[in-house]
Amino acid sequence: MNRDWIEKDYYAVLGVAPGASQDEIKRAYRKLAQENHPDANPDDDAAEERFKEVSQAYATLSDEEQRRQYDEVRQMAAAGGFPGGFGNAGGFPGGFSQGQRVRIEDLGDILGGFGGLGDLFGGSRRRSSARRGVDQTTTIQLSFEDSIRGLTTTLAVKGEAACSICHGSGAEPGTAVDVCQSCGGSGTISQNQGFFSFAQPCRQCKGRGRIPASPCERCVGSGTEFRTRRINVKIPAGVKDGSTIRLKGKGGPGEGGGPPGDLLVRVNVDKHPIFGRRNDDITARIPVTFTEAALGADIDVPTLDGAVRLKIPSGTASGRTFRVRDKGVPKPRGRNGDLLVTIDVEVPKKMSRAAKKMLQEYRDAYETENPREKLGWDHV
């Protein structure tokens, strides 16, 4: 079992209630991550440590399954045990008697059939010191065009990474790494605490199970360092603003031979001066003249792939929307979205005397009926 789950209140770390929604958790994380990011707080060890805690809390609570397991462990720890007790009357196999001390590792076998709870405890099948690395987060700012078309780019990610000299072994290149004599290579030391016997990380080897004979000078034997990594990432076509791209195995380094965490890339998309987006459709507002709307016209409409010709019928009202097929957001499978063109009829602010005279003659000859009378506005 991850001891941090009992000792640390991740909800309190993020400043949210235990029943908070995923959106609330995400907003709280973004705010705290920006405030405590190492880039914004150079040479501030406290902010860096706080950033790690916030990232660890979010990595657990943002995953629905991990959050469920975390809540169950916290509830059981607060209650001082498990529902039904651990005696034979409680229905648990293994012949444990009332009041008998049970190692927390053994509960993996005892609880294996109870909703997967056994997997939370480092039972006989999971006594390895290997631990998965934490998930790390970064952001990428995209132009509107790149978000629609997609691209491959390189990210500069700052955070904990495998040491660039020893590559995570903690030893100087060419030197040996010995098995820890204190824990026998397991990386854990059992400690009795009341009813349970918790397995804690070994202080001698710091949970790694191995001790380098000659510690690496760069990382001082830890196997990790805080540095900037350059990671290639493929941004898929049609990615939305605010979405997250998960890069498997590109996060924090694992411990004791465990796998690395994932890198979560948050996508921010710039506003475009012409185009907007509505689901898989691209939107645009196009100005036309009064005469084009009244008489009809063929106009050029911009798209991300060049201009297209659009026929505006006579009598087009301002605010009318036309659909240009297949000029929207690309889809992995099937037809692309469309371009939705909304017409804005521009009324001239300044007119020559001749133009005014012609409009007045048109009004006197053809606008014999007040259109507001049909709506009952003539007496308002």
- If one compares 368 and 17, the residue with the highest pLDDT of the two is 17
The letter for the amino acid at 357 is K
Res 2: pLDDT: 59
Res 108: pLDDT: 45
For residue 168, count CB atoms less than 10 angstroms from its CB and return exposed for 0-12, middle for 13-18, buried for 19 or more.
Answer: buried
Tokens, residue 299 = 């106009």
Res 337: pLDDT: 93
Res 351: pLDDT: 87
Chain position carrying tokens 């979405």 = 243
Q: Tens digit of pLDDT for each residue in 304-333?
A: 989 999 999 999 999 999 999 999 999 877
- Range in 77-91, 226-240, 300-314, 359-373 the model is least confident about: 77-91
Res 196: pLDDT: 57
71 neighbors 78 (Cβ within 8 angstroms): no
Has residue 105 got a pLDDT over 60?
Answer: no
Q: Tens digit of pLDDT for each residue in 246-282?
A: 999 999 888 767 889 999 999 999 999 999 999 999 9
Of 306, 282, 243, 302, which is closest to residue 144 (Cα–Cα)?
282
Query: Rounded distance, CA 347 to CA 249, Å?
Result: 58
Has residue 65 got a pLDDT over 90?
Answer: no
- Range in 33-37, 39-43, 88-92 the model is least confident about: 88-92
108 neighbors 123 (Cβ within 8 angstroms): yes
Most confident of 136-150, 203-217, 255-269: 136-150
Please report which residue ranges of the chain form alpha helices under DSSP H: 4-7, 10-14, 22-36, 45-61, 64-79, 107-110, 144-149, 290-295, 353-366, 371-374
Tokens, residue 18 = 């235990």
Q: Which residues contact 236 (CB under 8 A, 6 or more apart)?
A: 150, 245, 332
Average pLDDT, the chain: 80
pTM above 0.85, yes or no: no
283 neighbors 272 (Cβ within 8 angstroms): no
How much is the average pLDDT of 108-124?
42
What is the signed CA dihedral for 252, 141, 284, 274, rounded to 10 degrees?
Answer: 180
- If one compares 182 and 106, the residue with the highest pLDDT of the two is 182
Beta strands in 163-280 (DSSP E): 177-179, 188-193, 196-201, 210-212, 224-235, 244-247, 263-269, 275-278
- Range in 12-21, 40-49, 145-154, 353-362 the model is least confident about: 40-49
Query: Rounded distance, CA 35 to CA 166, Å?
Result: 32
Res 326: pLDDT: 92
Neighbouring C-alpha atoms within 13 Å toward the C-beta of 243: 13
Q: How confident is the model at residue 245 (pLDDT cuts 50, 70, 90)?
A: very high
**Domains defined along the chain, listed by start:** 128-176+213-269 (2.60.260.20), 275-374 (2.60.260.20)
Res 116: pLDDT: 41
Q: Tens digit of pLDDT for each residue in 37-56?
A: 877 777 787 888 888 888 88
How many residues appear in the chain?
380
What's the first-to-final CA gap in the chain, in angstroms? 75
Q: How confident is the model at residue 374 (pLDDT cuts 50, 70, 90)?
A: low
Question: H or E segment at 342?
Answer: strand 339-346
Tokens, residue 354 = 């001749």
Tokens, residue 320 = 């009318």
Res 115: pLDDT: 41
Has residue 210 got a pLDDT over 90?
Answer: no
Has residue 194 got a pLDDT over 70?
Answer: no
